[in-house]
Structure 1
Amino acid sequence: MDWQKIALILWFIFVQSLFAGEKLPKDVSVETLLKRGFSPKLVAIWKQKTQGTREDFFLWKRNLRGKEASLVAKLWKEEALSYPPAKQRLGKAEGNRNQSMANRTSDPGSLSPDPFLGEYWFVGLSHQNLDVQYLPREEKNHSAISLGGFQKGQRFVFEKRDDEFLYGLDLVKNSYRLTSGNRYKPIPHFYFAKDPNFYSQMDRPNSPLPQPLQSSHFFGSQFPMEGKHLEFGIYSAPGFSAYPGIYYVSPNKSYSGVWSPGENKSSFFINDFFDLQNGGKHRVQSESIFHPKESVGFFYSKSEMNDSSIFFDSTLYRDSPLLYGNLSIGENRPEIPQTLGYMRGSYKHLLGGETLSSMDGHRYERGVSGFFPLFVSDLGNIIYRYREYNESGNYNFNEIGRAIFYEWRKDRTVCSVGFESRDLGGQWEGKIAIPIYLGQLLELSAILREGNLKTRAWFENWTYASDFNINLTDREEIIKIKYVSHFLSLNVSYSEKENMPAPIVFINFQFLHLFEI
């Protein structure tokens, strides 16, 4: 059976699973619980937990052992129970308001019911193809299949990546935690010891398929703190550092870090949100690797003021192809380390400005931009943009860009298309982002450059892990399509580079299916 048939069968299973489980735990009657073999004590605890928060209920469910765990798991499966977040059970007006706020402060995956809280078996597939001339065949195609499960608080996986057979364990006993192998780690980093030939679009909280790793091992202890756990321990990951080190994870996993004292190498992760009431809402995301020889990483911040009418974005990163392996071509990463800073401020996305500065080897680029509306309506807005481009190192060239755009925005949904005229040519730009359903997002971004442009385009690399990212590109044409959900992702990238006879096509397909028990 070929890959296409397997993908078709799994897609059918996935679609069926979307409509499974509509009954809430609190809807199960006492008579039903007793008939299922629940003791009066277990019935009382069940009813008590179903009146509390969803997180507390699943924490209690995961910690059950023995006969009680079997009874609850059997009831969950046979009654086809589900426990969506409170947002989905609110009235329409209140639900829309809270969903809108959540859309602006977190990734779409956090809005849907977490499918990774019960016990389950799972199967995962991924296939990647990079069609580019002069690249060896073994570097163009990468495939993987994973089998594993989550039972009694323990995660495990066995997988085959290309020709390698690998494993992953995530074991918790009392207050101790051990992770070992090529898949699991207690820290939520993406950069740390990543497998350069693979990445996971399923990397969400509690997911059975987080970012694929090179071989790594963690052992630590969890300390209760305000209903959550602070974690501290030791690790070994030769792909990150030749020397072992220590790691730390904050109770809400918004902050974590690793440090290898033997090599003086460290990595830090931040993903936090602050609601200062009258001071606005603020989101901070950052990940970095610090080393005396080369440091890389990014910092992103987003602020919303005055009832989400004033927006500020800023990002600063130092990129390197060493982080991405073969993805550097398919994902439009720089071929040499690049340092870039960007800031943007706007009023209702209608009136505002931008500034960008980039150091790429011996090439230095900077620019400023301003935009304002020509026409505003409920059906969309017409935006005029004025931008100055400055380049030194290659051409020592300055030019002006004048653009007209049509834009329509509502919460996280964005539709924008327009043309920018420059001194030596022009470029078409377009982007679309559509949250199809809770936890599912469709993205399309494209750029088409014409003429003899000597400065690069500011291209928005949208990602599911962070709200926004921007890069510079001199490619004549780029088209990116991305669909992501908890269980399926498809990434397609087509680009043409100047002085290259053939285009570059990158395709990545990932699939995950759970079998609840």
Structure 2
Amino acid sequence: MFAVEKKPDQVSVPQLLKAGFPPHLAAAWKEKSKQTPEKFLEWKKSLKGKEAALVSKVWKEQEISLFNNKQRFADKNPYQKNERNPENKKNSKTKETTSKPKEAPDTNDELFFGMSYQNLDVRYLPRKEKNHSSVFLGGRGKGQILILEKRDEEFSYGTNLTYRKFRFTSGSRYKPIPHFYFAKDPNFYSQLERTGSPLPQPITLSNFLGYRLLNNTKEFEFGIYHAAAFSSYPGLYFVSPNKSYSGVWSAGDNKSSLYINDSWNHKDWGSHRIQSESIYNKQESVGFVYLKSESPGSQFFLDATAYRDSPLLYGVVSPEEVRPQIPQSLGYTRMSFKHLIGSEFLSSVEGHQYENGRSGFFPLFFSDWGNLIYRYREYNESGNYHWNEIGRAGFYEWRKEKAVVSFGFESRENGGQWEGKLAIPFGTNNLLELSGIFREGQPKTRAWFENWTYATDFNINLTDREEIIKLKWVSPFISLNVSYSEKENDPNPILFINFQLLQKIEL
């Protein structure tokens, strides 16, 4: 029998995993259980689909109780005083004061420190663009956070201060909006940004002052900001509950940025997710949108992405690549039945180069141990070569949630390419990923390469490189990214290495 009135932090990780929790959900439960009951309840209500069902199941089996006997009779809004509570009647004179939100720490008080090192080995790049390193030291407690950093030869700070309904962030690390592109430091990025982490994306000097509106445990935030790297004019910002939607706008130059990360689950229509971020500017607009849909029972899948890359995003989306010369617009769609039968469509415009293609795939053999997939793909290029060619490929593939094993060979008229991907989640919030492509002969159209990125779960790009190898290992305290690529008949390969370390000490 389970214990009666057990608190969330009394449920162990092995118990959660035994109940069917994936590692990332178990880690999120343990992280949220360190926070206030109101924060834990808010997190529980934000879950959807399978995750919501698993949490509700353990909630009932373990007989979880967030509040003590007095708190059970409190109003549903944890920040508003309930007149039915006898404790509130004794303090009716302080009604105006106690009805305001009490700031709760996001996690236990802690110190944290770490470092990062990055090397981009390209022969023709200046030294100052090849190597970047940083060290940092910070701490947080009672809802406040401060960090001191040394990025290359420059010192910076970051602070996130909250008092009742107000928030003030200043410096080069913290901001109330979750944007990835916004005022980003082009020489640094954080792969350790996740729930409960004190390391969001590094930014250039920015200041935000906002008002937090709390309504039935949902928190809206809006205010003013200034970030010279984004706009020379001050502007307004807005953040929705759970940071699913946020935006910034500067009236002086009519420049804005929009962020979306939301999902919907319906028993009849399945689960759907959208991720998007964009910067709208008179000079040039950039951004991406990614859609993912899954039918009830995981029968049908849809992935669709579109983005517009440009020199403005150099060092933001793909720091291991050289600076793009001209903007590129690309769209990609993949539809499948149980990842076995499906089709793909791609279209790209890059200057005067136009490429598009389509493909279909189906299983030659399938089992619980993996599937043998045949793929037929058409490649079309106009602008440079006016070339069309057919690719025929055979693959072995095995997928289970975030775990993926895939490798195979595609034959083309003027050559071919080996493709492979290995993704292994292990432990709690650990992911090891290896992907690569090796091209043979002289294909006149570029390869479709599934790339890992920092702002979205999925991205596909076109590459004419003869060889690409990418390795990624991410955990709550360490991150390693290694990328190697080379062009045919080019003595200048590109090697990118990025290592990040975060250590936390609870007080």
Shift of 1:25: 4.4
Which residue matches 1:434?
424
Shift of 1:377: 1.3
Counterpart contact for 1:116–1:207, Cα < 8 Å: no
Query: Given the alignment of the two structures, is residue 419 of structure 1 paired with residue 396 of structure 2, yes or no?
Result: no
Note the residue ranges of structure 2 that are not aligned, 5 or more in a row.
1-6, 13-28, 41-51, 62-104
Counterpart contact for 1:62–1:153, Cα < 8 Å: no
Where does 1:230-269 land on structure 2 (aligned, <5 Å)? 230-269=220-259
Which residue matches 2:286?
296
CA distance in 2, matches of 1:304, 1:512: 35
Which residue matches 1:73?
none
What is the aligned counterpart of 1:488 among 478, 486, 496? 478
Amino acid at match of 1:515: I
Q: Structure 1 pair 465/443, CA: closer, same or farther in 2 (3 Å)?
A: farther
Which residue matches 2:370?
380
Query: Given the alignment of the two structures, is residue 59 of structure 1 paired with residue 36 of structure 2, yes or no?
Result: yes
Counterpart contact for 1:62–1:118, Cα < 8 Å: no
CA distance in 2, matches of 1:298, 1:326: 13
The secondary structure found in structure 2 opposite 1:278 is coil
Further displaced range: 477-486 or 328-337: 328-337
Where does 1:397-416 land on structure 2 (aligned, <5 Å)? 397-416=387-406
Which residue matches 1:325?
315
Amino acid at match of 2:150: K
Query: Given the alignment of the two structures, is residue 443 of structure 1 paired with residue 420 of structure 2, yes or no?
Result: no
**For 1:242-270, what per-residue CA distance to the aligned partner results, in whole angstroms no more than 9, with x for missing partners?**
10000000012100000001010000000
Query: Given the alignment of the two structures, is residue 277 of structure 1 paired with residue 254 of structure 2, yes or no?
Result: no
Query: Given the alignment of the two structures, is residue 368 of structure 1 paired with residue 337 of structure 2, yes or no?
Result: no
**For 1:455-474, what per-residue CA distance to the aligned partner results, in whole angstroms no more than 9, with x for missing partners?**
00000002365321100000
CA distance in 1, matches of 2:156, 2:34: 34
**For 1:132-175, what per-residue CA distance to the aligned partner results, in whole angstroms no more than 9, with x for missing partners?**
10212221110000100111100110000000000001000110
Q: Structure 1 pair 337/501, CA: closer, same or farther in 2 (3 Å)?
A: same
The secondary structure found in structure 1 opposite 2:476 is coil
Shift of 1:60: 5.3
CA distance in 1, matches of 2:166, 2:416: 59
Shift of 1:53: 11
CA distance in 1, matches of 2:386, 2:491: 28
Amino acid at match of 2:257: S
Q: Structure 1 pair 465/116, CA: closer, same or farther in 2 (3 Å)?
A: farther
Q: Structure 1 pair 151/339, CA: closer, same or farther in 2 (3 Å)?
A: same
What is the aligned counterpart of 1:195 among 158, 168, 185? 185
**For 1:275-302, what per-residue CA distance to the aligned partner results, in whole angstroms no more than 9, with x for missing partners?**
0210110010000000111000000000
CA distance in 1, matches of 2:11, 2:132: 46
Query: Given the alignment of the two structures, is residue 501 of structure 1 paired with residue 455 of structure 2, yes or no?
Result: no
Q: Structure 1 pair 280/62, CA: closer, same or farther in 2 (3 Å)?
A: closer
CA distance in 1, matches of 2:110, 2:216: 28
CA distance in 2, matches of 1:409, 1:337: 34
The secondary structure found in structure 2 opposite 1:330 is coil
CA distance in 2, matches of 1:116, 1:482: 28
Query: Given the alignment of the two structures, is residue 158 of structure 1 paired with residue 135 of structure 2, yes or no?
Result: no
Counterpart contact for 2:133–2:151, Cα < 8 Å: yes
Q: Structure 1 pair 158/140, CA: closer, same or farther in 2 (3 Å)?
A: same
What is the aligned counterpart of 1:220 among 192, 200, 210? 210
Shift of 1:508: 0.1
**For 1:357-396, what per-residue CA distance to the aligned partner results, in whole angstroms no more than 9, with x for missing partners?**
0001111100000000001112111000000000011101
What is the aligned counterpart of 1:309 among 275, 299, 302? 299
Question: What is the alpha-carbon root mean square deviation over aligned residues?
Answer: 2.6
- Segments of 4+ moved more than 6 angstroms: 88-91
Note the residue ranges of structure 1 that are not aligned, 5 or more in a row.
1-22, 29-51, 64-84, 95-114
Which residue matches 2:22?
none
Q: Structure 1 pair 326/62, CA: closer, same or farther in 2 (3 Å)?
A: closer
Query: Given the alignment of the two structures, is residue 128 of structure 1 paired with residue 118 of structure 2, yes or no?
Result: yes
Amino acid at match of 2:495: V
What is the aligned counterpart of 1:467 among 448, 451, 457? 457
What TM-score, normalized by structure 1, do the two folds share? 0.79
Counterpart contact for 1:197–1:327, Cα < 8 Å: no
Q: What is the aligned-residue identity percentage?
A: 63
Which residue matches 1:111?
none
**For 1:163-213, what per-residue CA distance to the aligned partner results, in whole angstroms no more than 9, with x for missing partners?**
000000100011000000000000000000000000010122442111000
What is the aligned counterpart of 2:469 among 475, 479, 483? 479
CA distance in 1, matches of 2:129, 2:258: 30
What TM-score, normalized by structure 2, do the two folds share? 0.80
**For 1:420-457, what per-residue CA distance to the aligned partner results, in whole angstroms no more than 9, with x for missing partners?**
00010000000011111231111111000011111000
Counterpart contact for 2:9–2:34, Cα < 8 Å: no
Higher helix share: 1
Q: Structure 1 pair 134/119, CA: closer, same or farther in 2 (3 Å)?
A: same
CA distance in 2, matches of 1:27, 1:461: 37
Further displaced range: 329-338 or 399-408: 329-338
Counterpart contact for 2:317–2:453, Cα < 8 Å: no
Counterpart contact for 2:271–2:296, Cα < 8 Å: no
Which residue matches 1:170?
160
Q: Figure out how many residues of one structure are paired with residues of the other and give that number.
A: 430
Q: Structure 1 pair 151/337, CA: closer, same or farther in 2 (3 Å)?
A: same
Query: Given the alignment of the two structures, is residue 119 of structure 1 paired with residue 119 of structure 2, yes or no?
Result: no
Which residue matches 1:347?
337
CA distance in 2, matches of 1:326, 1:447: 23
CA distance in 1, matches of 2:382, 2:272: 35
Counterpart contact for 1:328–1:334, Cα < 8 Å: no
CA distance in 1, matches of 2:11, 2:338: 43
